[in-house]
Structure 1
């Protein structure tokens, strides 16, 4: 299994927005994103400049429908 890219929450949100996800609200330390053609929501922890941990990143990519091998291209 390929290693996931290291990125901050702001970088991840930017990549998810390019994939069609939209920030619907940003209450406190988490951003809530929705996709127009996918059911459910994606919750991204936003902690100033901290790198998202690999397990959390993997879970979010799976829920977003982005294959892990394609995530390497996000760097």
Structure 2
């Protein structure tokens, strides 16, 4: 069985910011990020210690970032 690396919301935000995403809006427990070139937005639950691996996969997919497994 594979062990999947767990990510905190802070780590996810750091990765997204390194890839050019910026926080556009933050209300309640979610941050919304936009990219100057890529269309759409990415929503990250924040602050959370460990995000579910499916949530992490979905965030990376929305952002167009390949996830190392």
Q: 1:3 & 1:67 partners in 2: Cα distance?
A: 18
| Residue in 2 that maps onto 1:65 | 64
Structure 1: give runs of 5+ residues left out of the alignment.
none
| Residue in 2 that maps onto 1:24 | 24
Q: 2:3 & 2:57 partners in 1: Cα distance?
A: 10
State the superposition RMSD in angstroms.
1.7
SS of alignment partner, residue 42 of structure 1: strand
SS of alignment partner, residue 31 of structure 2: strand
Once the two structures are TM-superposed, the CA of residue 6 in structure 1 deviates from its matched residue by 1.2
More helix by percentage = 1
Structure 2: give runs of 5+ residues left out of the alignment.
none
Q: Which ranges of 4 or more aligned residues in structure 1 deviate by more than 2 Å? A: 2-5
- TM-score computed with the length of structure 1 as normaliser: 0.80
